[in-house]
Structure 1
Amino acid sequence: MERSIRLVPLDEDGFAALTTDVVVPVEQSLAWDDYDRAVPGRRPWKRFACYVDEEPVAVLALSEYLGRGFRYLWAKHGPVWLVEPTPELECALRERLVAGARAVDPRLVFVRLHATHPAEDLHELLQSVTYDRTVIVELGGRTDDEILAGMKKRGRRDLRKGLREQPVDCTEETGLSAEDFTELYEVLRETAERDGFGVHPMGVYTTMLDALGPQHARLFVGRHDGEIQAWVIVTVNDGAATAYYAASTASGRAYDAPTQLYWHIIRTLRDEGALTFDFMGVGSPLAPSLEALTTMKTKFNPEVAEVPPAWDTPVRPFAYAALVKALAAKRATLAGARRAVPAVRRATGREEGAA
């Protein structure tokens, strides 16, 4: 007999009741709604439970994003599965979600959500980086020695060397004003320029800290002789801590300040009852841009965990295809411009030399 699979809207109380016994990522939690409301171009959309016959098998919270002339939904780190998802179950949930989104708001172009099993309706993300591997450190009930024993030999060596030769003063600075965050933002810009990634406007980070509050968003900073060498924003929900944003200076890296800071964070959160610490993504064929982070993150656990990456599922296939084409053209134009700049400089240099 064919089983009934349906999506049922949930209010906050219904969502909380169904997720009592599971770990909910902070982006799927009720607390995330305040952050979505505070960021321009975003808002909480709807929450659903997926039922197979009368059994709830998953819940998901969706946020609506306004792009440049288009709208889409994103269930960050969702669905939250209450059972082990099969390829068929993941596909059935997406089919019902896409049909429902199309019926509720025909302007929506695609839905972004996480999936374990590849499928034809899943497309690589338009303009964001996802990951399918991360490093997770178990904290619950573990002593310092036990956490150290789980680290790579190199990790223990680097930590002890840094603590001995140039110890970093690690403090929590949750509640830092937006004005005082400016100094941290400059460190982030230095990190981004060095490692080749983009940064959000400063307000995205300060709004996150303010909207989520100290219960769900924490700021830790490492200094040496009063100078910032590294900082990390950590989110916490249901005992799961995640290193969400991080930055470090060149001098901080030279003496491995991030390792000392992470060691401080891990022990602090463990003492407060956190059960896990997720470094939020390492390199893989799906996420080669994160490869530079792998060495540092695996110091704390050499075992890499597989996690479901994010995918786009079109709601309006023709509109989505047009976006893909337009974005490819834009990237080609930018790549051509970047190639042209060195050529112009070389030509100018030759002319000046000849003169």
Structure 2
Amino acid sequence: MISNLSQEAWDTKVIELSGSILQSWVWGEFQQSLGQKIFRFSDETSASLAIETALPMGKKYLYCPRGPLGDPQSALADLKKLSEDHSVVFARVEPQVKLDLPASPKETQPSHNWMLSLDKEEEELLMRMKPKTRYNINLAQRKGVMVREGSKPDLIMLYKLFLETAARNKFKLHPQNYYWQMFETLAPNCLKILVAEYKRQPLAGMILTVFSDTATYLHGGSSHQMKEAMAPYLLHWEAIKLAKRAGFTTYDFGGINSFGSWAGITRFKKSFGGYEVNYPGSYDLVFSPIWYNVYKNARLLRKILTTH
């Protein structure tokens, strides 16, 4: 059913159900600031934030990032009921358990993340890293790289780093306004900007989100300049220390994939020590099979055209 919980009660329930910031109250507010319509469902055993996303010809689909939480059947029933009142073709869900539903043709959130437990002292965290990672952290410090907490004016510089990184590694970025709105909505309680620089020249930066017991590396980028300074290593080490000192117990490096273009960043993340968390994946709950097939075929055609 549509939730009537307050912000505090909603977040308490999300935390009780082991949800991430992507199901938090503030994430829904952020999506609304982008012009998206959102729905919050909850009952005794489940909770789900669903984001309405436009498709061509007036159609829509619902997306539940890292959700629903708890008992998925209750949330799926809510989504089905909502589809009857709107032009909703399907709902894309990323539940905590496997479901007997068709797998999504694409994943929005990665199925494999790399995590680091912060229950050890800083010295032991260092010792559990790859020797080369410890060396690179020390090297960055010796070269004079400094890490500071950023503010709103740093978003312009940060976006330039994101653009450079996206071009270098051939992945897509959100439009600039996405990061502006994220900062406006989530900072300062749930979002931090960290910048690694040398003599005021930015070399790397990240957006770090915090929710429940977890600090998450959500977005990041680095400059091709002064690669030898190893700024990204020190940047993440300072983020880990910041999270630990603030009382968080887990540092989430985000998605990993040992193959293709993600292989290098995966080796980088794993070099800090930690463990892999596997999610069930992404499923599509289809309400209109005809329009769903139109959607899938259009995606396939677009993929073919963009690769030739």
TM-score by length of 2: 0.89
Determine helix, strand or coil for the equivalent of 2:133.
helix
**Amino acid in structure 1 at the alignment position of 2:81:** G
| Preserved contact between residue 98 and residue 315 of structure 1 (Cα < 8 Å) | no
Residues 15-34 of structure 1 correspond to what in structure 2 (within 5 A)?
15-16=10-11, 18-19=13-14, 21-34=16-29
Letter in 2 for 1:239: D
Displacement of 1:71:
1.3
Mind listing any 5+ residue stretches in structure 2 that lack a counterpart? none
Q: 1:289 offset after TM fit, Å?
A: 4.5
CA contact under 8 A between 1:283 and 1:292: conserved in structure 2?
no
Alpha-carbon distance in 1 for matches of 2:261, 2:103 = 18
Do residues 57 (structure 1) and 51 (structure 2) align?
no
Give the letter for the 1:295 counterpart. Answer: R
Residue 73 (1) aligns with residue 62 (2): yes
Could you say which residue in structure 2 is the equivalent of 1:131?
110
Residue deviations 1:38-96 (CA, integer Å, cap 9, x gap): 103x12223223xxxxxx43321112122444311111111223xxxxxxx65x34652
Residue matched to 2:4 = 11
Separation in 2 of the partners of 1:282 and 1:204? 23
Counterpart for residue 265 of structure 1: 239
Aligned residue number for residue 278 of structure 2: 306
1:36 aligns with 2:13: no
Q: Distance between the aligned counterparts of 1:26 and 1:17, measured in 2? A: 12
Distance, in Å, in 1 between the alignment partners of 2:140 and 2:277 is 27
Query: Aligned runs of 1:194-209 on 2, under 5 Å?
Result: 194-209=168-183
Q: Does 1:158 align with 2:133?
A: no
Q: 1:173 aligns with which of 129, 145, 150?
A: 150
Residues 1:45 and 2:43 aligned together: no
Residues 281/253 of structure 1: CA separation in 2 closer, same or farther (3 Å cut): farther
RMSD, aligned α-carbons: 2.3
1:105-126 residue CA offsets vs partner (Å, 9 max, x unmatched): 2x01111111355555232244
1:184 matched to 2:158: yes
**How far 1:219 sits from its partner (Å)?**
0.6
User: Does the 8 Å contact 2:54/2:61 carry over to 1?
Assistant: yes
The one-letter code sitting in structure 2 at the alignment partner of 1:334 is T
Residues 217-242 of structure 1, C-alpha deviation per residue, up to 9 Å, x if partnerless? Answer: 11111101221110000111112111
Q: Which letter maps to 1:148?
A: L
8 A Cα contact 2:63 2:91, kept in partner: yes
Task: After TM superposition, give the deviation of residue 333 of structure 1 in Å.
Answer: 1.5
Tell me the CA shift for residue 33 of structure 1: 2.4
Q: Which amino acid aligns with 2:28?
A: D
Q: Secondary structure at the match of 1:262?
A: helix
Q: CA deviation at 1:18?
A: 3.5
Instruction: Report percent identity of matched pairs.
Output: 20
Distance change >3 Å, CA 182–CA 16, structure 1 → 2: closer
Residues 20 and 132 from structure 1, CA distance in 2 versus in 1: closer, same or farther, beyond 3 angstroms?
closer
User: Which residue of structure 1 aligns with residue 93 of structure 2?
Assistant: 113
Q: 1:325 maps to which residue?
A: 297
Distance between the aligned counterparts of 1:27 and 1:192, measured in 2? 23
The CA distance in 2 between the partners of 1:291 and 1:159, in whole Å, is 21
**Secondary structure of the structure 1 residue equivalent to 2:273:** coil
Aligned to 1:348: none
Whether 2:261 is the aligned partner of 1:281: answer no
| TM-score for both structures, normalised by structure 1 | 0.78
Q: What is aligned with 1:101?
A: 82
How far did residue 301 of structure 1 move?
A: 1.6
CA distance in 2, matches of 1:301, 1:101: 43
SS in 2 for 1:24: coil
Q: In the TM superposition, what is the alpha-carbon distance from 1:260 to its structure 2 partner?
A: 0.3
The structure with the larger Rg is 1
Q: Within the alignment, does 1:246 sit opposite 2:241 as a pair?
A: no
1:250 CA drift (Å): 1.2
Unmatched segments (≥5 aa) in structure 1 = 1-7, 50-55, 82-88, 337-355
Whether the aligned pair in 1 keeps the contact of 2:204 and 2:221 (CA below 8 Å) is yes
1:137 maps to amino acid: L
Following TM superposition, where does structure 1 have runs of at least 4 consecutive aligned residues deviating by more than 4 angstroms? 116-120
